[in-house]
Each structure stands twice: as structure tokens, then as C-alpha cells.
Amino acid sequence: MFAGLHAVRPSSRLSEGWERDGARLYLAPALYNEALLVQYLVSRSHEHGGRTLDGRLTLPELLRRMRKGGYLTAHGIEASDQFELLEKLIDEVAGAGALKLYYVVDRREFIEKVKAVYASYA
């Protein structure tokens, strides 16, 4: 189904689901936003920041796109803090109820640099 696919775009014609037209895949706005959120989360695990359907996104850019597309309003997601919004979005997409979100940061390379700096002063 995805062989030869070159672009994924949101479709204003579709209210749900997806449709393929040649080398393009069109997703309903809600589905597109959910795919964008999943790609954003996966991209955070890449060393230099991975790409989403809309390129490299920061969290504020992602939330702006979700707001502009009406996803937050349609799902009744409100919060003043961007990280609280992210957690509510993940809860909505996961559909599993109360999820706990943990951020894991690999600082091994940073610690090695700090050790090297301290060793040079010793």
C-alpha cells in the first residue's frame, strides 16, 4: 500500500480516515495531527532531532499546529503550560486513561566532558 509513496498531507475533504492519490497519502486532519504527535515523540529520541511530516518541529511549533488545526479544541484539551498540553495530548492519543510521562535524558557524553575539564585542573 505504501510502495512509491512520496508525500503525506492533511486533507480538508476527509472527515476521517485516509485516501491515496498517486504518490500522495491524504489523512483526515485529526489522524494527521495524531501521526504528527507520534512522529514528534519519536524524533525526540534521535540525536540531532528527527523529522516529522512537517519537518523538524519544536514543541511550541507542534502545539501551534495542533491549535490551528482545531485538534485541541475538538478534544477539549486545555492547559496553560506547554508540557501539560503535551501530556494531555499523549493521554488522548494513547487512549489508555491516566498515563505517566517520563523524560529520559542521556548525559553520559556531557559527564565525560566535565570529568575531562576537572582532570585538566587537577
Half-sphere exposure of 94 (CA within 13 A, CB side): 13
Is 97 within 8 Å of 91 (Cβ atoms)? Answer: yes
Q: Residue ranges per domain, the chain?
A: 7-121
pLDDT tens, position by position, 18-41: 888 889 889 888 888 888 888 888
C-alpha–C-alpha distance, residues 91 and 9, integer Å: 24
pTM: 0.63
Q: Is the dihedral of CA 92, 40, 33, 22 positive or negative?
A: negative
Question: pLDDT grade, residue 48 (50/70/90)?
Answer: low
pLDDT tens-place string over residues 70-111 = 888 888 888 888 888 888 888 887 776 565 666 667 788 888
